[in-house]
Structure 1
Amino acid sequence: MRQRVIVCPVIQNEGEFLLCKMASDRGIFPGQWALPGGGMEPGETMETALRREIKEELGKELHITDVKPWAFRDDIRTKTYPDGSREDIYMIYLIFDCISTNRTVTFNEEFQDIVWASPDILKYMDLNEATRITFSQKGIL
Structure 2
Amino acid sequence: MKTRVVVVSYINNKGKVLFGKKSPNRGPYPNTWHLPGGGVEEDETLIDALKREVKEETGLIVKDAKQIFFNDDKTLNKHGEMTHYIFLVFNVSVEDVNFKPGDDLVGLKWFEEKKIKDIPVTKPSKDFFKYIGLL
The alignment covers a number of residue pairs equal to: 135
Question: Aligned residue for 1:115?
Answer: 109
- Paired AA for residue 27 in structure 1: G
Question: Aligned residue for 1:6?
Answer: 6
> Are 2:66 and 1:68 equivalent residues in the alignment?
yes
RMSD: 1.4
Query: How many angstroms does 1:64 deviate by?
Result: 2.8
Q: Work out the CA distance in 1 between the residues paired with 2:61 and 2:45.
A: 19
CA deviation string 1:28-63 (max 9, x = no partner): 11111111111111111111110011111111xx24
Q: Work out the CA distance in 2 between the residues paired with 1:34 and 1:23.
A: 11
SS at match of 2:7: strand
Question: Aligned residue for 2:81?
Answer: 87
Q: Work out the CA distance in 1 between the residues paired with 2:64 and 2:121.
A: 24
Q: Work out the CA distance in 2 between the residues paired with 1:134 and 1:14.
A: 19
- Paired AA for residue 17 in structure 2: F
Query: How many angstroms does 1:101 deviate by?
Result: 4.3
- Paired AA for residue 47 in structure 2: E
Gaps of 5+ in 1: none
Gaps of 5+ in 2: none
